[in-house]
Amino acid sequence: AQKITQTQPGMFVQEKEAVTLDCTYDTSDPSYGLFWYKQPSSGEMIFLIYQGSYDQQNATEGRYSLNFQKARKSANLVISASQLGDSAMYFCAMRPWAAGKSTFGDGTTLTVKP
């Protein structure tokens, strides 16, 4: 069974500062992918970044980076230079390598203050 834990129900950050959203996971699958999605109030789930379990380097996509620590089973999302438009719900998800189902955490609501 897979489990994703996001321990921060809500986070606040000042505009232009960096913020880290926590995610820990548990799985027995030897190969898997980790995803972060942004969900604004409109409801659409927007893909942000992906990290494969065998990737040696941490993934980066523009202002997003994933701090992957396999031994600790953590996959934290770092958003640099926060913008007001970053205010949304953020979900961490895991998916086995064999294209199976994705398991999501309960999400973190990020509020960016001007």
Q: Which residues bind other proteins (CB under 8 A)?
A: 4, 31-33, 35, 37, 42-47, 50, 52, 91, 93, 95-107
Minimum CB distance to other proteins, residue 77 (Å): 15
Question: Distance between CA 73 and CA 36 in Å, rounded?
Answer: 15
Minimum CB distance to other proteins, residue 16 (Å): 29
Which CB sits closer to other proteins, 36 or 82? 36
CA nearest 19: which of 76, 72, 92?
Answer: 76
Which CB sits closer to other proteins, 19 or 49? 49
C-alpha separations of 33 from 27, 41, 64, 81 in Å: 11, 26, 17, 26
How would you classify the pairing of strands 10-14 and 108-113? parallel
Minimum CB distance to other proteins, residue 78 (Å): 20
